[in-house]
């Protein structure tokens, strides 16, 4: 992504791939992403439940809905919807239960 250009994050075509079997806990979710720079990208997750180990990031949900729970912490689950802004830190272990295909813009670091 070049400075001074516009990208429609909601309309970007993403190549979707199945979530690895060892990360799936329900359904048959797929994910896809487009890296706009080394630290900015668009990510999508279809309905289903999967686990992840997070990077240090801030993201804004563009569309969809999900519940994210955190393993091994006292943090309560969070509900995501369009407009949600979330900060995750590297190493957080999460469980993503996606109700409607979720698309987010993330910034690493």
Strands 57-70 and 78-81: antiparallel
* 3-class DSSP assignment, residue 70: strand
Given a cut of 90, is residue 1 above it in pLDDT?
no
Asked if the model's pLDDT at residue 57 lies above 90, the reply is yes
Domain 20-108, classified CATH 2.60.120.10, yes or no: yes
pLDDT at residue 73, rounded to an integer: 76
Q: What is the rounded CA–CA span in Å between residue 30 and residue 2?
A: 28
Q: Are 63 and 83 in contact (CB under 8 A)?
A: no
In this predicted structure, what is the pLDDT of residue 47? 98
Alpha-carbon distance 62 to 35, whole Å? 16
Q: Where are the domains of the chain?
A: 20-108
């Amino acid at each position: 992504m070049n400075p001074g250009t516009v990208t429609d994050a909601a309309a970007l075509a993403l190549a979707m791939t199945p979530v690895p079997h060892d990360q799936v806990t329900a359904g048959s979710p797929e994910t896809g992403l487009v890296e706009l720079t080394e630290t900015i990208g668009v990510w999508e997750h279809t309905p289903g439940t999967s686990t992840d180990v997070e990077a240090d990031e801030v993201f804004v949900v563009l569309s969809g809905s999900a519940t994210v729970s955190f393993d091994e912490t006292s943090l309560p689950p969070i509900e995501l919807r369009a407009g949600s802004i979330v900060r995750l830190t590297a190493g957080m272990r999460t469980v993503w239960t996606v109700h409607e295909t979720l698309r987010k813009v993330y910034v690493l670091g």
